[in-house]
Amino acid sequence: MASFVIAVDGPAASGKGTIATRLGRELGLPVLDTGLLYRAVGVLTAQAGGNPDDEAAAGATATRLTADLLADPALRTRTAGELASRVAVHRKVRERLLGFQRTFAAQPGGAVLDGRDIGTVICPDAPAKLYVTATPEIRAERRWKQLEGQGEAVAYADVLADIRRRDARDGARDAAPMVAAPDATLLDTTEMTIEQAADAARRIVEAARARWERSH
């Protein structure tokens, strides 16, 4: 039986990570935050003295990446998010991270993956696809609170500028640009609490699962 893959895509701080984590917990499925892969490549490239904008340097780091490197809290910082978005434009980096993501998705019981290109490139046949959005202002507010909670003091205006810059870079790149898959269900969380967003996501996934079970 094919595995039940849930693709959760969307821009920074849209709520996709929390939604993916909750879906995984409720359905008993493993969850992969694919942003961590790009964050790790960005941080490790910079740490090694390489230039994140250089495809060869970032690509070499992507080849060396192992799963045990993904738990580092340093990957959650604002700097790491920016580095991630810079290395994520490189085709070589994306190609080298593809196998790991597809293997994760192919686990027998199914899996939840959140990112930017899960429903379009990594798992185009996923039976459940969500594209989670919210306005840049609301997303900046959420990210600002999260960074504060992590002890990273930063001005709201700077976080908003980060988010806008990242949206523009992620959406404009040639390699797997951030875009909703044509068959993804759009979930705008601007006016929702995280509880409401998670409930809405669960209903979308339940409907997708019922359709998938009928056809398998």
* Cα–Cα nearest to 75, from 152, 169, 167: 152
The single residue among 24, 35, 52, 119 that binds ligand CDP, judged by CB under 6 A, is: 35
* Cα–Cα nearest to 98, from 38, 57, 54, 40: 38
Interface stretch with ligand CDP, choices 22-30, 51-59, 113-121, 207-215 (CB under 6 A): 113-121
The single residue among 15, 24, 52, 81 that binds ligand CDP, judged by CB under 6 A, is: 81
CA distance 68 to 169: 28
Q: Which is nearer to ligand CDP, 70 or 192 (CB)?
A: 70
Please tell me whether residue 88 binds ligand CDP under the rule CB under 6 A: yes
Residue type, 209: R
The single residue among 4, 6, 27, 38 that binds ligand CDP, judged by CB under 6 A, is: 38
Sheet with 128-133, strands from edge to edge, namely: 31-33, 111-115, 5-9, 128-133, 185-188
Dihedral angle over CA of 136, 141, 143, 148, nearest 10? 160
Interface stretch with ligand CDP, choices 12-20, 103-111, 189-197, 200-208 (CB under 6 A): 12-20
Total residues in contact with ligand CDP, by rule CB under 6 A:
16
* Cα–Cα nearest to 145, from 134, 156, 160: 156
**In the complex, least distance from residue 92 CB atom to ligand CDP, rounded to whole angstroms:** 13
* Cα–Cα nearest to 28, from 6, 13, 10: 6
Q: Which is nearer to ligand CDP, 113 or 205 (CB)?
A: 113
**In the complex, least distance from residue 89 CB atom to ligand CDP, rounded to whole angstroms:** 7
Q: Residue 185's beta-bridge partner residues?
A: 130
The single residue among 22, 96, 116, 129 that binds ligand CDP, judged by CB under 6 A, is: 116
Q: By CB under 6 A, name the binding residues for ligand CDP.
A: 12-13, 17, 34-35, 38-39, 81, 84-85, 88, 115-117, 166, 170
